[in-house]
Chain A
Amino acid sequence: AQSVAQPEDQVNVAEGNPLTVKCTYSVSGNPYLFWYVQYPNRGLQFLLKYITGDNLVKGSYGFEAEFNKSQTSFHLKKPSALVSDSALYFCAVRDMNSGYSTLTFGKGTMLLVSP
Chain B
Amino acid sequence: DAGVTQSPTHLIKTRGQQVTLRCSPKSGHDTVSWYQQALGQGPQFIFQYYEEEERQRGNFPDRFSGHQFPNYSSELNVNALLLGDSALYLCASSFQQGFGTNTGELFFGEGSRLTVL
Contact B90 A94, beta carbon cutoff 8 Å: no
Q: Is A86 an interface residue (CB 8 A)?
A: no
Inter-subunit contact B56/A101 (CB<8 Å): yes
A interface residues, how many (CB within 8 angstroms): 24
Whether the pair B43, A90 counts as a contact (CB closer than 8 A) is yes
Chain A residue with the shortest CB-CB distance to B6: A43
Complex Cα gap A44–B106 (Å): 9
How many inter-chain residue pairs (CB < 8 Å) link A and B? 61
Using A46-B107, A101-B56, A104-B45 as known contacts, list a sample of 18 further A-B pairs with CB atoms less than 8 Å apart, ordered by residue number in A.
Answer: A34-B105, A41-B113, A42-B111, A43-B90, A43-B110, A43-B111, A44-B92, A44-B106, A90-B43, A101-B104, A102-B33, A102-B58, A102-B104, A103-B106, A105-B44, A106-B42, A108-B40, A108-B42
Return 12 A-B CB contacts under 8 Å, by A number: A32-B103, A41-B113, A42-B110, A43-B108, A43-B109, A90-B43, A101-B48, A101-B97, A101-B104, A103-B45, A107-B40, A108-B41
